[in-house]
Copies of this chain bind each other. A is one copy, B any other.
C-alpha cells in the first residue's frame, strides 16, 4: 500500500524509549512501507536509524554505517532490524530553497520563516550540502532490557566528522507533543557516501545548504500491540529528560 504524501507515520512514542521499551518493535520492512524520509532507533537502542530517499541505514556506535535491514553478520546486527520507535513520512516538500545555516541553532528560525502557518503541527525537513563539521552521537544500545534512554544516552559516543557533503533528515514537532515525539527540532545526519552519521548534536555548514520542508497535518500513530514490556511500562511524561537528551 502506498501512503499519501506528507502524513507522519510514527511507531510508538518517545516516552516509551525513555522508559526503556526497546526489546521489540516494528520490522524495518514494514516501516519503509510508511515513508521514505525519517528517523528512529533500533532494537535495544543499538545505533541510530535514518531513512533517506527510501533507504534505511543503521548508524552504529563504532562509527560505521550499514544498510538496514542488512545481511546477518557476525555481530548479529540483523537481529536489530526492528524499530521500537520511528517517525517517517513520504516526503513531498512544498518549499525548496537555499539558506545560510551556520549552526544547529540556525535551523529552526529558517524553518519558521519558510512555513509560518505550521507552528503547531509537525514538519519534515531536509538539508543537503557541504558541512564543515557535524557533531553526531550514536547510541550504544541498552546494557540490559528495559534500560531507559537517559542512561543509554549517558554512554553515547560523540564524534566530530567533516568536512563532508551529506544530508540532514529531520522533523520539527510542536511543544504540546513532547513525549509523543521530540518537541522542537530532531535531526539525523548521513554523509553522501553513506559511511558516517548519527543524531545531530551540532553542525557547521560551509555557506548555503539546500533546505526542503513539508508540513505534516495528519499523523498515523501505531502503538506496540502485544508488547508486554510496553504494556507494563509506566510511561510518565518526562519532558525535561527528553529535552536534555534529544534536543
Contact = CB atoms under 8 A, between A and B. Distances in A.
A236 B165 CA distance: 38
In the complex this chain forms, how many copies of it are found?
A: 2
Interface in A196-240: 215, 217-223, 225-226, 230-233, 235-237, 239
A interface, size bucket: 20 to 34
Contacts of A178: 237
A94 interface: no
Interface stretch (A35-43, A97-105, A115-123): A115-123
Nearest to A180: B180
A231 B215 CA distance: 13
A221 B218 contact: yes
Interface SS of A by simple majority: mixed
A52 to B, nearest CB: 25
Given A117-B231, A237-B178, A219 B221 contact: yes
Given A218-B222, A222-B218, A176 B235 contact: yes
B13 A231 contact: no
